[in-house]
Structure 1
Amino acid sequence: MIMTLFLCLILFITVLFFKKQTTGKNSNPGSITFPSPPRLPLIGNLHQLGRHAHRSLCSLSHCYGPLMLVHFGRIPVLVVSSAEMARDVLKTHDRVFASRPRSKITKKLLYDGCDVALAPYGEYWRQMKSVCVLSLLSNKMVRSFRDVRDEEISLMMKKIRKSSSLRMNLSEILMSLTNDVICRVALGRKYGGEVNFKELMKRLTRLLGAFSVGSTVPCLAWIDLLLAIQREKSVGFEIDRLSIKAIILVKGYKEIKFIFIDVLVYNRSSCFGLQDIFVGGTDTSYALMEWVMTELLHHPECLNRLQEEVRMICKGKPRVSEKDIQEMKYLKAVIKETMRLHPPLPLMVPHESTQDVKLRGYHIPAGTEVMINAWAIGREAVTWGPDAEEFRPERHLDSSVDFRGQDFELIPFGAGRRICPAISFAVVLNEEVLANLVHQFDWRLPVESTEVRTGVVESTGIAVHRMFPLYAIASTT
């Protein structure tokens, strides 16, 4: 009896849904008519998203085009999967799409989007960005952190040297390095036993990348309560405690020391910007380094060519300096190629239209969510050729395409008004770490490793890295 009633209810909802679809198309000629895969009642296209949404959406775009409308429950989302369409959104209509949609998860974890990355477009966001760009992430500030980078890289090299010729967890080493650098730059000190900083950041990024059922299908919001509310409370409490402790320490200083938290307090800005620094600076940098070393270990010929370049330029030097890196064209090509194949945020932080706009002849109403698939754009055959799926750094040696927001074929940091303001900080750290790793050590995968044959499984979360740690063996040169 209960099963019969349930089936009747489903049939009734389905009939109403398709009736609404038919009448909606006839009665509202101004509605969005983008190519769109068929959707189900209540859940929309959620059933077509696999474990890795960027891959699923890329596959759908092959059928429905680079400008495609999908429905996550009740929310229509415009998915952009080509460089040409990304240019329209992020340059031609940049101001219209400069805002961010709200979500329940960011509301609970990031103070309702009161940070630089997720704040709605407006005066508050402009003030926050101004503090970040001028006071925190200017070229002068990036140069001022050189001693911190050098010290932490030297400590990492000593750790690797002690374990040379042994199987080591390179993922853990790279994550510890980025955490330590960010902690010292942002808070003025490293956090040891009193705060499991690495685990806290893992939990935060995992939650930020989680899917909120209640945001898309309100009648199923109880699922979020069962799955995540306790985890959200726990992570939010730990972040609050860390931020308050850092502010108390800074206010006790007699002089401004010009670490990130100093500048935020000095400018009377909320410390909510700390989450941007932690998430954007730690997880994405660590993910990129991990993918670079993964690709190099899978392609020994590229690793050998990079080592030859670095060792020739730094011949007789104990370590690589920032000045040396300026001459390393192949190193920069390796990093570009890794960003192309493995953008740290495959689905960039979503945009939202602030007013009605026409895009390629289609009408887009205000409040439409737009998702840009940087992973799909990096694999466009029309841009990168028939070997777009292959790791081939040489393709960048004679190319002017760069990742700083002017070339939409390669946008790992985004573009337009909402481009990541920490590009210089991230690139300098990544280049210096990777150059020193290949300069001082020879690298190989353990004999028992099978990942070259079986492939590397991606993790889930806002930043995508390896599901399982990268183990490697380093030997001194």
Structure 2
Amino acid sequence: MELSGATLIFLSLISLPILVSLLHRKWTPTSKKTQPPGPRSLPLIGSLLHLITSQPQVTLRDLAKKHGPVMHLRLGQVDTVVISSAAAAQEVLRDSALNFASRPSILASEIACYGNLDIAFAPYGAYWRTLRKICTVELLSARKVRQFAPIRDSETLSLVTNIRDGAGAGCREPVNLGRMLVSCTNNISAKATFGEGCEVELQEQFLAAIDVVLKYSGGLSVGDLFPSLRFVDAVTGLKRRLWRARRQLDAVFDKIIAKCEARREQKKKTTGEDDLLSVMLRIKDEGELEFPIRETNIKAIIVDLFTGGTETTSSAAEWIMSELMRNPEVMANAQTEVRRTFDNLSPQDHESHLEKLSYMRMVVKEGMRLHPVLPLLLPRVCQNTCDVGGFEVTKGSRIMVNAWAIARSPEYWHGDAEEFRPERFEDSTADYNGTQFEYLPFGSGRRMCPGSNFGLAALELILARLLYYFDWSLPGGIQPDELDMDMIVGSTARRKNQLHLVASPYNVPIDILS
């Protein structure tokens, strides 16, 4: 088969930087220190074939069993170290936290997060510390999370009503619980961020724009794996599609911010700053921070709030319900506790009694153990060459912590590590704070998720009300052990097929929202 002249030129352009990279590696003196072991790399692509799967965390866990808990992979032109033990995770996330506190720059975050001005991907430094302070003090503090209780109450009751209506009167029609959970968590985040006064149409436009951004932001691009070939992302059209999604998001942002600015003065006189956007606009106007916050920074932060607090919460709730359907005895125990606690309460008092649901909270912990929404956490980058687990990790290497593998390791969770058994947390000290490195659903250290309290408050109320108001069964005569648990890992680890269940109302008043 003959190749055209244009094709030969194109292939030459691609090959040249790769050849230069290979020659550089060949003639660069190697360190005398031991490099982490890993699978054999192929020319040009390295170990990329190992990750062409919908569940990379499983493949990496299996490779780590052979090569060890500190494992080196060459992904294209990028050196990557995968951490698969609690001890090694502690070294990276706590003992050498400053050295691993920054994120690598990837194409999707550069465009979708306004040049990495967000909390998740901003380089570690004074600017990131400013954002972190804004989050912990102003946006996602315990006080602020409590303030959003009426929104959680209203939207989770709407979820109950939608499930009841979707099930039909006595028809026992399956409902798409996965889709309903996404809608519920989207609405909670939208109202907390933009306020109750934001027009429904604008909220819907924003959520549609966010969906487009997420669609094109999942995974890594050619340029992320082959930095010398970044032009390929332009040739394939990926960069153009990301920018189109960003412009679509910008147009909706501008409308929402303009509406919010217009009502701010009146809002202060009546109800105060009850939404996150108003808080950020006030901080912008005060201009008292070391790094001035402008509208672009606000947009980047809001993108984080939605991508980090919406799909993650709905995915966690869907996985937990899936596990409960596969474990009827656990379902019965959790429902008995919730109904015993809620039976004599008004719906408005449900959230204040969640702390009494000790077994249900163990169910949530166990669900987050088996199904962390970010199984590989977010990647980090090594700032200076150092040792981890007795091996040398070179400057510029990307670090992935396989929290999914650690949370399923028999070394920490005994022989039943793969089983859904909430009772294991009865006497456990493991919590969500990232201090026990065998359990990292929200990460650990400086870069752990700042919105964990916001997400958990919604997750616990959603689950409690699903258990209280409905009895659940699988459609079509499916047996518990036949329920598919197929996973796909993109921006989060979610069910490949959304969960469909039959809901039988237990105690759903007709006027539940009145």
TM-score by length of 1: 0.92
Q: Is the 8 A contact 2:54 2:487 kept in 1?
A: no
3-state DSSP of counterpart to 1:172: helix
Q: Is the 8 A contact 2:37 2:67 kept in 1?
A: yes
Report the Cα distance in structure 2 between the residues aligned to 1:335 and 1:225, rounded to whole angstroms: 45
Q: Deviations over 1:229-258 (max 9, x none)?
A: 343123211221222222212211212523
Q: Are 1:67 and 2:74 counterparts?
A: no
Amino acid at match of 1:152: E
Q: Are 1:176 and 2:183 counterparts?
A: yes
Aligned to 2:162: 159
Amino acid at match of 2:44: L
Matches within 5 A, 1:231-310: 231-252=241-262, 253-254=264-265, 255=268, 257-268=273-284, 269=293, 270-271=297-298, 272-310=300-338
Q: Deviations over 1:21-65 (max 9, x none)?
A: 6765xx322566111211112111111112322122111111111
Q: Is the 8 A contact 1:403 1:413 kept in 2?
A: yes
Report the Cα distance in structure 2 between the residues aligned to 1:454 and 1:160, rounded to whole angstroms: 20
Matches within 5 A, 1:5-24: 24=28
3-state DSSP of counterpart to 1:183: helix
Report the Cα distance in structure 2 between the residues aligned to 1:414 and 1:302, rounded to whole angstroms: 27
Report the Cα distance in structure 1 between the residues aligned to 2:130 and 2:65, rounded to whole angstroms: 40
Amino acid at match of 1:302: V
- 347-356 or 124-133: bigger deviation: 347-356
Q: CA deviation at 1:364?
A: 2.6
Identity %: 31
Aligned to 1:101: 104
Matches within 5 A, 1:49-64: 49=51, 50-64=53-67
Report the Cα distance in structure 1 between the residues aligned to 2:105 and 2:19, rounded to whole angstroms: 31
Aligned to 1:463: 492
**Change in CA separation of 1:30 and 1:199 when aligned onto 2, cut-off 3 Å:** farther
- 446-455 or 164-173: bigger deviation: 446-455
Aligned to 1:212: 221
Q: Are 1:406 and 2:400 counterparts?
A: no
Report the Cα distance in structure 1 between the residues aligned to 2:182 and 2:431, rounded to whole angstroms: 26
- 129-138 or 400-409: bigger deviation: 400-409
Structure 1 alignment gaps of length 5 or more: none
Aligned length, in residue pairs: 473
Report the Cα distance in structure 1 between the residues aligned to 2:496 and 2:166, rounded to whole angstroms: 23
Report the Cα distance in structure 2 between the residues aligned to 1:54 and 1:111, rounded to whole angstroms: 28
Indicate the RMSD between aligned Cα atoms, in angstroms. Answer: 2.7
Amino acid at match of 1:239: L
Amino acid at match of 1:326: E
**Change in CA separation of 1:314 and 1:260 when aligned onto 2, cut-off 3 Å:** same
Aligned to 1:222: 232
Question: Among 363, 366, 373, which residue is 1:337 paired with?
Answer: 366
Q: CA deviation at 1:203?
A: 3.2
Aligned to 1:379: 408
Q: Are 1:82 and 2:75 counterparts?
A: no
3-state DSSP of counterpart to 1:459: strand
Q: Is the 8 A contact 1:70 1:77 kept in 2?
A: yes
Report the Cα distance in structure 1 between the residues aligned to 2:22 and 2:255, rounded to whole angstroms: 55
Report the Cα distance in structure 2 between the residues aligned to 1:109 and 1:14, rounded to whole angstroms: 28
TM-score by length of 2: 0.86
**Change in CA separation of 1:14 and 1:405 when aligned onto 2, cut-off 3 Å:** closer
Q: CA deviation at 1:198?
A: 4.3
Report the Cα distance in structure 2 between the residues aligned to 1:277 and 1:170, rounded to whole angstroms: 23
- 212-221 or 380-389: bigger deviation: 212-221
**Change in CA separation of 1:375 and 1:203 when aligned onto 2, cut-off 3 Å:** farther
Q: Deviations over 1:148-176 (max 9, x none)?
A: 11111121112222233321111111111
Q: CA deviation at 1:369?
A: 1.3
Amino acid at match of 2:165: K
Report the Cα distance in structure 2 between the residues aligned to 1:374 and 1:20, rounded to whole angstroms: 34
Q: CA deviation at 1:220?
A: 7.2
Report the Cα distance in structure 2 between the residues aligned to 1:243 and 1:58, rounded to whole angstroms: 41
Q: Are 1:40 and 2:68 counterparts?
A: no
- 242-251 or 93-102: bigger deviation: 242-251
